[in-house]
Structure 1
Amino acid sequence: METGRTPKLVGTVWGLLILNTLGSTGAETVVPLPRSLIQMVTMGALAVAFSLALALNLRLRVRASAFLFLLTLLLVPSVISSADLESGFGALFRCARLGLFVGTLWLLSRWWDGGPTFVRHHIRMYFAVLCTVAAGALVSPGAAMPDLYGGRLVGALWPLTPPQIGQYAAVIIGLALLLVLSRQTDRRSAALVIVPSLLLLVLTHTRTATLGLLVGLTLAIGSLALTSAAARRFFSWAVLCAAVAAVAFASALHAWFLRGQSEENFSNLTGRAKVWDALLAAPRTVGEKVFGIGLGDKSFDGLPIDNSWLAVYHEQGLIGIALVATVFVVLGGVALLRPPSPARACAIFLISYCALASYTEAGLGDASPYLLHLAVAASLLASPAAATPPVTPEPPRRRVPRWARTPEVT
């Protein structure tokens, strides 16, 4: 199938999907925004994204994708568990949202060709989100670093939490760095993204995003080391600088990592373990174990679950866990089987980042930034579409007069 040039509106659709996954809860903003207004904007963004994607792909040409097939199957336990309305009508609404989200990805899969197009869209859109965070910090530093969050950076113009900002910053730092190492962008453009994003990541004090960035880059650059001299040089210098920093700034790094918490609170993962133990100990019927209780707000007894696997188990059951695990197995297996390339390195970074972050953050079972990260990885691992060779028209036949024709021999 021939994909052709990617229309510019595809970037707009991707930006609308990102807007839909920003969420409606977080810190207090400088100008108070009603939650109903935020939800109207985010859900409207998804509806417009689907409509634009459908207009761009009226013939419904899609690329075969195991990733999207598994996400479509994930709708089955979601709908079955939500149909009894144990989680309220909101569960069915979230199912419809997930269906529209997956449908938009199917429509965009027409342009998944293993190239960096969606990586660039991802970086641009999330960098635009981070620009609003930086603008909020400049306009109102007190609102951007409130005591409620321990002085960590939050969104003062749009309600974004520190883990959200840290996630966006870490992902685009890693992708921009891999693009410059593979010479798919210039150093100046990469520095304009990496430097401010790194500053915002430090201000959020987000441990999960920091570890995800380091682990993901280590694996991604390691996959390039055999074929890229630039990757080998960067890896060597990074290891040397990390060793020096670990020795020279050990106490400062330890204090930053603890964020003023006690060792007991840190070992308890800031109270997450208590919620996880209570969730696993709660009595469940066989149906709830298999299909879950329906899509909700990723909380248990009013407290956030903050673990993708337990959130999927709670809402979509064991079937949901099996499908999400298969997503990682399929994407990781395809990435390992591909020859070293910049696209493979970016995919490995995104897959490993999402896998690590899934331990302390939820989102793999519903429309979320993590599914968008994995969708970019799937687009990078897609086989390039075979171009249809142009058909050369045959030259018109000349009409030969009767007197000039060669007589037939009988």
Structure 2
Amino acid sequence: MGGGHTPKIVGTVWGLLVLNTLGSAGAKTIVPLPRSLIQMVTMGALVAAFALALAVNLRLRIRASAYVFLLTLLLVTSVISSAHLESGFGALFRCARLALFVGTLWLLSRWWDGDLTFVRHHIRMYFAVLGSVAMGLAVAPGAALPDLYGGRLVGALWPLTPPQIGQYAAVIIGLTVLLVLGRRTDRVSAAVVIVPSLVLLALTHTRTATLGLFLGLALAIGSLLLTSGAARRFFSWAVLCATVAAVGFASVLQAWFLRGQSKENFSSLTGRAKVWDALLAAPRTAGEKWFGMGLGDKSFGGLPIDNSWLAVYNEQGLAGVALVAAIILVLGGVALLRPPSLERACAIFLISYCAIASYTEAGLGDASPYLLHLALAASLLAAPAAAAPLMTPELRRRHIPRWARRSEVP
């Protein structure tokens, strides 16, 4: 199964999955990029990821994974809901994309061994994405902080929205902090990742990512308090700094959090609640309630849904909602049953971050960064594969019949 050396090409496959989930819709870039070109690049990355994963795992060796199994059931539900073509042929295209995504995860599961290998791939790739955002900010500050988004940071080289950038920054900040606490990286290397990522996160003014980062880290570090002195010291300093910031910079923090919005607009979650109410009030047949309308662009009435649970309900019905809930509950339950460790803490951070973000962000029902974060959590929670014992020539002669021996060469 897994265990042993992980081929370098596996990191390339993971990076291609990251590229595929960046999406094709976002802010205007310095050099206009046709959406068809961006979609060709992202889909090409997914096809290449599947091909490379298959090439490096030709014997189709996989590990049992409740997470990928549930994703496979979600794929089946998506195909059932999309077969009626209520969302057009684009729904079947999205199903094919999800199938390639899930298939690639199955092929990679061979190397899910409960270690930090994929965490490092995750941090490197998203840090590279944030590097392109920082480069766009340096080259064209006006395009990177457009008035259209209220002066929030966007991708000026690749079309990335503020919530996307905030999500990527928050995830790699949290994972890097945990690596430092677990003494799996030095402080200088960590600072190189954390400091610029914090700056980019602040420039996005993304509340969901910020709350997900702090609450996810609190839960993850809390899982280490009984076994790690570094975690206890960090937690104490974090509480002290949070208290000082809340007292001394309350007005500044409030202004950043409100982003210039009125209290009415803020209470309706920037208009999201109106879309949610309309979606829930829309008439549906029994089939649409159970299996949804088919995979779409996560919108309703031309407006983004911005809620994973309602987006799944709209596209994959109650069956899809049940499967997504099962994914979160299974991963969370396995994490709670594992003994305290750095790997477990990283998984808890990722699961809790995705659960928190699901309230104001869509993505848990289709190929997305959120499913990739949860795949990383699943790889961290996988039990280490037992190493296969060496078979000496003497043992071969003793335990393998003569007719079954291919060779006596050791």
Summarize the alignment of residues 8-407 of structure 1 with structure 2, pairs less than 5 Å apart: 8-394=8-394
Which amino acid is 2:315 matched to? E
Query: 1-side partners of 2:255 and 2:284: how far apart?
Result: 41
Counterparts of 1:57 and 1:85, CA distance in 2: 35
Q: Which moved more, 1:344-353 or 1:385-394?
A: 385-394
Distance 1:119 1:189 in 2: 15
For residue 224 of structure 1, give the secondary structure of its aligned residue in structure 2.
Answer: coil
Cα drift, residue 237 of structure 1: 0.3
Aligned pairs, number: 396
| Pairwise CA distance, 1:81 | 1.1
- Secondary structure, in 3 states, of the residue corresponding to 2:372? helix
Q: Whole-Å Cα distance in 2 between the matches of residues 129 and 224 of structure 1?
A: 30
8 A contact 2:2–2:111 mirrored in 1: no
Deviation at 1:391, TM superposition (A): 2.5
State the distance in 2 between where 1:190 and 1:58 align. 37
Gaps in structure 2 of 5+ consecutive residues: 398-410
TM-score by length of 1: 0.96
Q: CA deviation at 1:336?
A: 0.2
Maintained 8 Å contact 1:132/1:158: yes
Structure 1 residue aligned with 2:400: none
Query: Which whole-Å CA distance do the structure 2 matches of 1:271 and 1:252 have between them?
Result: 24
Q: Return the letter of the residue paired with 1:206.
A: T
Residues 129-180 of structure 1 show CA distances to partners (whole Å, capped at 9, x for unaligned) of 0000000000000000000000000000000000000000000000000011
- Give the Cα separation in 2 of the matches to 1:138 and 1:2: 43
Please tell me whether the aligned partners of residues 178 and 345 of structure 1 are also in contact (alpha carbons under 8 angstroms). yes
Distance 1:340 1:75 in 2: 33
Distance 2:3 2:380 in 1: 15
CA distance in structure 2 between the partners assigned to 1:162 and 1:81 by the alignment: 31
Instruction: Give the Cα–Cα distance (whole angstroms) in 2 for the partners of residues 334 and 158 of structure 1.
Output: 37
Q: Deviations over 1:309-347 (max 9, x none)?
A: 000000000000000000011000000000000000000
Q: Hey, what's the Cα distance between the residues in 2 that align with 1:169 and 1:2?
A: 30
Shift of 1:4: 2.5
When Rg is computed on C-alpha atoms for both structures, the one with the higher figure is 1
Point out where structure 1 has 5 or more consecutive residues left out of the alignment.
Answer: 398-410
Residue 389 of structure 1, CA deviation = 2.0
Find the residue that maps to 1:120 and give its secondary structure: helix
Aligned AA (1:80): I
CA distance in 2, matches of 1:112, 1:79: 27
Q: For the Cα contact (< 8 Å) 1:133–1:155, is it kept in 2?
A: yes
Counterpart CA distance in 1 for 2:83 and 2:285 is 16
Kindly state the Cα deviation for residue 2 of structure 1 after the two structures are TM-superposed. Answer: 4.7
Letter in 2 for 1:152: R
- Give CA-to-partner distance per residue, 1:286-329, whole Å, 9 cap, x none: 00000000000000010000000000000000000000000011
Residues 133 and 155 in structure 2, CA contact (< 8 A), matched pair in contact too? yes
Shift of 1:390: 1.8
Distance 1:309 1:183 in 2: 37
**Partners of 1:128 and 1:56 in 2: how far apart?**
24
Aligned residues of 1:2 and 1:388 also touching (Cα < 8 A):
no
Partner Cα distance (1:211, 1:50) in 2: 34
1:183 Cα deviation from its structure 2 partner: 0.6
1:403 aligns to what?
none
Aligned AA for 1:141? P
Tell me, in whole angstroms, the C-alpha distance in 1 between the residues paired with 2:129 and 2:168: 8
Query: Residues 2 and 63 of structure 2 are in contact (CA less than 8 Å); yes or no, is this contact kept in structure 1?
Result: no
Matched residue of 2:343: which SS? helix
CA RMSD of aligned residues (A): 1.0
The one-letter amino acid paired with 2:321 is I
Structure 1 contact 62–106 (Cα < 8 Å) conserved: yes
Distance 2:162 2:174 in 1: 18
Change (3 A) 1:25 1:119: same
Letter in 1 for 2:216: G
Contact 1:77–1:292 at 8 Å: present in 2 too? no
The answer to whether the Cα contact below 8 Å between 2:2 and 2:113 also exists between their aligned partners in 1 is no
| Letter of the structure 2 residue corresponding to residue 189 of structure 1 | S
Question: Per the alignment, in what secondary structure is the counterpart of residue 71 of structure 2?
Answer: helix
Q: Distance in 1 between matches of 2:34 and 2:163?
A: 22
TM-score (norm 2): 0.96
Check conservation: 1:71, 1:102, Cα contact below 8 A: yes
d(CA) in 2 for partners of 1:247 and 1:186? 32
> Which amino acid in the other structure matches residue 364 of structure 1?
L
Per-residue deviation at 1:394?
3.6
Distance 1:394 1:247 in 2: 73
Q: How far off its partner does 1:76 sit?
A: 1.7
Q: 1:2 and 1:77, CA in 2 relative to 1: closer, same or farther beyond 3 A?
A: closer
Distance 1:2 1:199, change over 3 A: closer
